[in-house]
Each structure stands twice: as structure tokens, then as C-alpha cells.
Amino acid sequence: MEKILVDMDGRLGNQMFQYAYALKLKKQYPESEIIINFYRISLYADLAPNESGWKDNLQYFKADYQTNQQKLSDFLSGYLSKKQYFWLRVTNRLQHHLSIFKKNSYFPFEKLPNLLKYYSRFLYRHGLLIYPSKIEKLNYEMENSNILLHSYFEDASFFEGLQDELRATFSPREELLEQNKDLYKKIKEGQSICITIRRGDYLSKENQQSFFQCDESYFIKGIEIIKEKVKNPIFFFFSDDLEYAGQFAMEVMTEDDQFFVEKEGNPIWEKLRLMSACKHYIISNSTFSWWCQFLSDNPQKIVVGPKNWYPKDSINKNNALVQNDWIQI
């Protein structure tokens, strides 16, 4: 295999999954080169200028890849074989025009109708990891020298045994910020509990039904569980809405509790460093939260996570990020 092509989608948490899967493939094909196109993300940045994170976030970490800024169609036609490009365009048309393709794109592979399972295997064998949106383990030899990744690869089992390599890969290039040195020391020295509260776009009208899963009662229950299991816990609150996180912390923490709320102004790579340094976790159903607990090097870590990754009525049906060793609520 010569090239592993990534049609990148999403913000940091999603980008990490896509890059990690490309890295996993590179271990299988060591002579290959990872090339990432961020054109799709640049379009999102133009459509949502008030939302941060729509950019190449991997640049802040020790990931090894080449970038390509061409228009997506030029990028793909330049690297894919004629047969690959034909089936890519067919798949895009099917997803656009047929409701069965749209609906089942958000299902895990094993829940696809048999015809779509066959179609997904067919694409995989031709080096197109593009359908469904949440790729499962498909152990088939690929027939092309170049492979295209456009999916989310959100499955904990994909990355078993790669923790050490991924910790090194996703360590920030920049040094610890001065404003966080005391906080980082407290995290490393105490029984630190990372609480990640995801709000932001999860609360929008179009996203709430599909994504908002971890409400205040969830975090209160998680805090109760941690207090029962960890002696002298110190709680560290992280969020994309720090004003809300600070108010919530003041309401739920007692005068006997030790707790801290991260400071404003931390870049995303600094957040990842601080959060992944914690000993234990109460996470949201956010890919960024998931990576923080996964990258922790504490072998005795306790993770409180949601039993179901998505709300009951969500179009997303994949639950592969929920790990068996979590305390699920």
C-alpha cells in the first residue's frame, strides 16, 4: 500500500479517531504514507464562523502526516484509481438520494441489512472505508495500493494495545502553560478526578435529541460513586462552558470537598494534557472526553461513563465507545 488518504471530518476528538485508525493501518502497511485533506473542515469553518475547532487540530500534537489542501474532488481523483473514484461517487449519490442509505449510515455494521453489509464489504475490499459512518472490524484484504478513510472509527476495540503509542502521538508539541503549572501539579500529586461537562452545540435545537445525554443528574450520580470508591478525591472540572461548570461545581460540591475549575483561555491541546493527566474520570458522551480517559496512564483508573453513548431517540446507534470496565450509569 502506498498512500493512506484521510478525508478528515469533525473537530479534535473525531480527528484523533480518524488519525489513530490511519496509524493502525500504517503499522499493517509500514511503507505507506498518511495524507490528510482538511478541505471539508475548512467548509465547516466557513459555515460556522462562531464555532471554534474547525481546523487542523492534529498540528498541535506529535502526529506524523502530510497535509493536502486541494479541493476535495481534485484530491480524491488525483490519488484514487478510476474504479475507486467511480464507486466513491456512486456511494455519495446513494447516500444523497436513498433514505435506506442515509438511515443505515448511522448504524453499526452488524445491524445493517444484509444487502448493505455486502456493499460495505465490497467497498472495503476496494480500499474505500467510507460506509457506514461508524466502520466496524472488517478483516478483508484490500485490493488497491491506496486506501481512502472517510468514516469515524469510533470503536474502543480498534485501539487495544496501542495506548502507549497513541499517548506519545497525542502529546502536545508545546510546553505546559505557566497559568496551569500549579493545577497540573495538583492533578499529578493527588487523587484527581476529571469531570468533563460537554454543552455547547449539544444543546442546540438540531443536536439535542441526537447528542445531549449527560445532564446534571448524571454528574451528581457520578460524583457520589467516585466519593464511595476513591479516598480523598480532588475534583477538577473541565468544560466548553466554564461559567456553567463553575456554577454547577459550587452547587454540588460540599464544604468538605476539594475542587478546581480550569482557567479560561486554555487551548485545546492544553485541555487534553491536563485532563489526560488525571487519575479517575466522570466523562460526557464526547469523543474528546473519551480520548482523555483513554490516554490516562493510571492502570487503576476508575471511569464513570454513560451506559448508552447516544440518547435513545438519536439517529446514531453505535455504542462501541462504551467500555466494559467503566462504571456505566
Q: What one-character-per-residue DSSP string does 27-82 give?
A: HHSTT-EEEEE-HHHHHHHHH-TTSS--S--GGGBT---EEE-S-HHHHHHHHS-H
Q: What is the pLDDT of residue 208?
A: 67
Residue type, 19: Y
Residue 235: strand pairing partners? 193, 259
Beta pairing class for 128-129 and 33-37: unpaired
Beta pairing class for 146-149 and 3-7: parallel
- pLDDT tens-digit profile, the chain (329 residues): 689 999 999 999 999 999 999 999 999 889 999 999 999 999 988 888 778 889 999 999 999 999 998 999 999 999 999 999 999 999 999 988 898 888 888 887 888 899 999 999 999 999 999 998 777 666 667 777 899 999 989 988 899 889 999 999 999 999 999 999 999 999 999 999 999 998 877 767 667 677 788 999 999 999 999 999 999 999 999 999 999 999 999 999 999 999 999 999 999 999 999 999 999 999 999 999 999 999 999 999 999 999 999 888 888 878 889 999 999 99
Could you give the count of Cα atoms lying within 13 Å of 257 in the half-sphere of its Cβ?
19
The secondary structure of residue 174, as a DSSP letter, is S
Q: What is the pLDDT of residue 110?
A: 81
Q: What is the pLDDT of residue 137?
A: 62
**Whether this model's pTM surpasses 0.95:** no
> What is the Cα–Cα distance from 224 to 214, expressed in whole angstroms?
15
> What is the Cα–Cα distance from 251 to 278, expressed in whole angstroms?
22
> What is the Cα–Cα distance from 46 to 264, expressed in whole angstroms?
25
> What is the Cα–Cα distance from 276 to 291, expressed in whole angstroms?
8
What residue has cell string 445531549? 212
**Residue 296 region, left (φ>0) first, then alpha (ψ -120 to 50), else beta?**
beta
> What is the Cα–Cα distance from 64 to 83, expressed in whole angstroms?
29
Instruction: Describe the strand order of the beta sheet including 233-239 as a list of residue ranges.
Output: 258-261, 233-239, 191-197, 280-282, 303-305, 327-328
Residue 2: strand pairing partners? none
Cell digits for 290?
473519551
